[in-house]
Structure 1
Amino acid sequence: MDASWQQRMARLNRRRWLVWTPLAFAFLASYFHRTATGVVADSLMREFAITRAADLGGLAAVYFYTYAAMQVPAGLLADRFGPRRTILLALAVAALGATLFGLAPNLTVLYCGRFLSSLGVSLIYVNIVKIHAEWFRGREFATMTGLIVVAGSAGFLLAATPLAFFVDRFGWRVSFLAIAAYSLLAAVACWLLVRDRPAAVGLPSIAAVEAREGGGPPLAAAAAEPAPPENGWDSLQKILLNPYTWWPFWASVAVYGVYMAFMGLWAVPYFMQIYGMSRVAASNHILAMAAGTMVGGPLIGLWSDRRATRRLPNLLVSSGFLGVWLLLTVWNGGRPPEWALYPLCFGIGLGMSGVNLNVACGKEVNPPQWTGVVAGIVNSGSFVGAALLQPLFGWVLDRNWGGLAAHGVRIYPLSAYRTAFWCCAVVLALGILFILWIKETGCVNISRRERATGPAGAPQ
């Protein structure tokens, strides 16, 4: 290998982390908005006279409906205009939404702020996936997905105990104004440091790198593909008609939906009402779930890339999630001993980590130049699930409410939570069935082979 090429490779390896780091900080804001309403749930119910759990679930679900709806447009924006410009717009909109939420004088403005925050952050992840495809090798994809989840999960950490302390000291409104300021700072950093592809700074493309290193069939397939149509409609149709696109989508609906129904909204009320915990003590258990996600994300990504398998680690980890969830549901009638709660919460976060492989599963059964659109479609499943299950969880609680309330907030009995837990267990079991139907790719892009032979009708 000549010295000039080695120098360019060294520059590429340094520069890609300079590009990635501000994106990781930007992604933190997305996770913060995902779970913050759970920590301030009682404050919102009291200040805006929200009396039913289903109504609070609806406010939280605005994030997930918006996020899910915007995943395909986010992919089209990433493929057409590039991540740098799209993420700048995303963070500006998210900052405006957080400001409105923090200043909201009534429920209508609160909903508008929630919507705009969700609209902004919904564009970030798919554009990061696009950056991963442009700056990192294919065999590094799942590992990078795990690392970005670690970065995002820092938002979970901030939206747990630190937010609870901050709310108790300064109030929930100041908290959201602070995240608005953070979003603007992240926007400036991304604009200054992020570049859409290595060629923008005179460096070799990842395709050229993989060719030089012996990238093999995935690279050959990418080079043989025609450029995507300008309007993206033809590519979208082909992706939607590919049956293998949908199994990881539905697996994400089920597994991530259950995780966010609990971690993102109802865990803090459950711990406060059933165990009599303070807001800070209850939020500490959110930290345990976030820690499980932060540990599981990179480990399962590294396992998948190193062993060249997607479906098996996804199946094993998600089955572990179901096992931990059943323990939470049946142990002591849905009220496990308090000493067991931290391990259970860590296990829930760890068990959700299989979802991180679903975008890779979708990416590898569709042409590589459509990565942004594919990532948007598959990733939307997670937020469809959360949008459906957060209000459903609240609806089940309302149906089993015993009539007790305190300071304008409904107090739900253990039996109500246990019924909701059982509903979630059924959904998780369905998710595992969907994982069984995911196409095993061996961590390479098989889209050309599938078009040549035709998709099979059963798990491969």
Structure 2
Amino acid sequence: MTATDPNRSSPGWRAWLIWIVAVAAYVLAIVNRSSLSAVGVDAAGRFHADAATLSLFAVVQLAVYGGMQIPIGVLLDRYGSRPIMVIGMLLMSVGQLVMALSPSIGVAIVARMLLGAGDAAVFPAVVRLVATWFPAQRGPIMVQLTGIAGQSGQLVALLPLAALLHSTTWTITFGSVAGLGVLFAILVWAIIRNRPPEHAEDVSVNTETGVIRVVTSSIDTGVGIRAAWAHPGTRLAFWSHFTTPFAGTAFLLLWGMPYLTEGEGLSAAAAASLVSLNVLVAMLLGPVLGELSRRVPTRRSLALVIPSIGVQVLGWLLVIFWPGAAPLWLLVVLVVCLGAGGPASMIAFDHARTHNPAHRLSTATGVTNSGGFLAALTAIFLIGLALDLQGAGTPSTYSMGAFRWAFLTQLPLWALGTTMIIIERKHTRIRIGLDPERRRRA
């Protein structure tokens, strides 16, 4: 029997092999995405960059990643996962090679743009492979497993990549990552196929009902985007994804390691262990929050989203206003609190799926996803700008006090997002009939 035969509920060995290769490529994409997280201080020294300029590396990368989501969806519909993943891996390889040889900040920023464009292609392509090679009933759990496995790429970026850099050179380190990308592009082309051979197009099979649906990932534009945004449930999803993950993203993607080493005075190994703990907490909390979201569909915002924001704010405020250097136990509390943001942000996609019809789901998902990227790039840039304004924009001038004041720039983003979540939650509950509509005064 084939991997997606309607008479069986279990995927065949070929489906699992394709998924394993695709997930391995996704792990490498996360390594590429996070490759500056452990070497931010080294990058600042290499390019003689102040904090605001250094933050541009992450800002342009995230901006390109978010901006490529719509084109990637269209290309996936036309060509399928295999060629798009190969192109994505090659783009990341070119980006890392340019980074390895870059003589200036301008060229390095172009390298991060190439990396963001390539990275944008990988996860949507893997999700599409899950839909076409696995029974439809297994889709949610397979996507969760893909996301959890991908987080291990951050651990690779934090530990082995930093160790390689400090034992060799910048060019060898980033050149090695570029070479891995080429090898994985070849592996993806050799192993992965867009769909099982018995299907003429990408389809998702429900093995319980026999229903076969064509898989689409493109984001419709114009009317679709306006219609999606008009529903308060989509706006609730946008602000939930805007508010929950940005602090953890800013910490992991750029500012965590410089703060822990240059600000709090930890060794590189101790700082990397703390950031690794953040990743592990996120991986462990993902399934837990996913199950809780399923069980309390009408109370997700109050029971899960807002509390996850609250613990992040509390964690940062305790560290920021602690007299003197924060003790290790308090830094552990901080990274655990930040670890809740990523899994909580996935609840936003539950909102988007719940409140939008199937034909508009990809549009709503794209709108939701943009919220997190907008908040993250804003936070990263504001932290860098705040460091510069305090005269602490280079590794030689980084200080604990400057970092703590810089991290306070996250508070307005949390305040804005939380306020909008409360407002749009009320509008959503009125829209779906859970709360009565307020009567206007005569």
The reply to whether residue 388 of structure 1 matches residue 370 of structure 2 is no
Distance (Å, rounded) in 1 between the aligned partners of 2:240 and 2:411 = 14
Aligned residue runs from structure 1 range 298-317, under 5 A: 298-305=287-294, 311=301, 312-317=303-308
Matched residue, 1:290 = 279
SS in 2 for 1:36: coil
Distance 1:250 1:136, change over 3 A: farther
- Gapped runs of 5+ residues in structure 2? 438-442
Query: Is the CA contact (8 Å cut-off) linking 1:54 and 1:395 kept in structure 2?
Result: yes
8 Å contact kept, 2:277–2:336: yes
Q: For 1:140-159, list aligned pairs within 5 A.
A: 142-159=140-157
1:173-229: CA deviation from partner (whole Å, max 9, x where unpaired):
3222222222223323333443444575699954542535xx9xxx9xx89xxx999
Aligned-pair CA distance for 1:152: 1.8
Report the secondary structure of 1:37's partner residue. coil
- Equivalent pair of 2:243/2:309 in contact (CA under 8 Å): no
CA contact (8 A) 1:228 1:369 kept: no
AA of the residue aligned to 2:47 = F
Q: For residue 62 of structure 1, what is the aligned residue in structure 2?
A: 60
1:208-260 CA distance string (max 9 Å, x none):
42535xx9xxx9xx89xxx9999865544543544432322232223222222
Matched, 1:399 2:386: no
Summarize the alignment of residues 416-427 of structure 1 with structure 2, pairs less than 5 Å apart: 416-427=402-413
Query: Quick one: which of 366, 374, 394 aligns to 1:376?
Result: 366
1:401 partner SS: coil
Matched, 1:329 2:330: no
Tell me the SS of whatever aligns to 1:332.
coil
1:186 equivalent among 184, 187, 192? 184
User: Relative to 1, partners in 2 of residues 1:391 and 1:73: Cα closer, same or farther, differing over 3 Å?
Assistant: same
Partner of 2:267: 278
Alignment of structure 1 residues 88-237 onto 2, 5 Å:
88-135=86-133, 142-197=140-195, 206-212=204-210, 235-237=224-226
Are positions 1:33 and 2:24 aligned together?
Answer: no
TM-score, normalised with respect to structure 2? 0.83
Give the drift of 1:399.
1.7
Could you say which residue in structure 2 is the equivalent of 1:342?
A: 332
The question of whether the paired residues in 2 share the 8 Å contact of 1:255 and 1:427 is answered with no
Please name the residue that 2:21 is paired with. Answer: 22
Unaligned runs of 5+ residues in structure 1 are 441-445
Counterpart CA distance in 1 for 2:436 and 2:101 is: 51
Partner Cα distance (1:363, 1:153) in 2:
23
User: For the Cα contact (< 8 Å) 1:98–1:176, is it kept in 2?
Assistant: yes
> Are the structure 2 counterparts of residues 183 and 272 from structure 1 closer, same or farther at C-alpha, using a change threshold of 3 Å?
same
Letter in 2 for 1:255: T
Cα distance, 1:171 vs. partner?
2.3
Distance (Å, rounded) in 2 between the aligned partners of 1:46 and 1:230 = 41
Q: Name the amino acid aligned to 2:276.
A: L
Task: Name the SS for the 2:244 alignment partner.
Answer: helix
Are positions 1:266 and 2:255 aligned together? yes
Secondary structure (helix, strand or coil) at the match of 1:180 reads helix
Percentage identity across paired residues of the two chains: 25
Whole-Å separation in 1 of the counterparts to 2:156 and 2:32: 10
1:249 and 1:358 in contact (8 A); partners too: yes
Seen in structure 2, the aligned counterparts of structure 1 residues 39 and 15 have a Cα distance that, compared at 3 Å, is same
AA matched with 1:48:
F
Question: Larger % of helix: which?
Answer: 1
> How high is the TM-score relative to the length of structure 1?
0.80
1:443 maps to none
Q: Match for 1:253: what amino acid?
A: F
Aligned positions, number = 432
Point out the more displaced range, 162-171 or 142-151: 142-151
Q: Are the equivalent residues in 1 in contact too, given 2:58–2:380 (CA < 8 A)?
A: yes
- Picking from 333, 346, 352, the partner of 2:342 is 352
Q: How far does residue 10 in structure 1 lie from its aligned partner after superposition?
A: 4.9
The structural deviation recorded for 1:53 is: 0.7
Of residues 366-375 and 155-164 in structure 1, the stretch that sits farther from structure 2 once superposed is: 366-375
2: CA distance, partners of 1:197 / 1:438: 40
Are the equivalent residues in 2 in contact too, given 1:104–1:110 (CA < 8 A)? yes
Distance of 1:456 and 1:329 partners within structure 2: 43
Q: Which residue does the alignment assign to 2:440?
A: none
CA contact (8 A) 1:249 1:378 kept: yes
In 2 relative to 1, CA 364–275 (structure 1 residues): closer, same or farther, beyond 3 Å? same
Note the 1:44-83 alignment, pairs <5 A. Answer: 44-50=43-49, 52-83=50-81
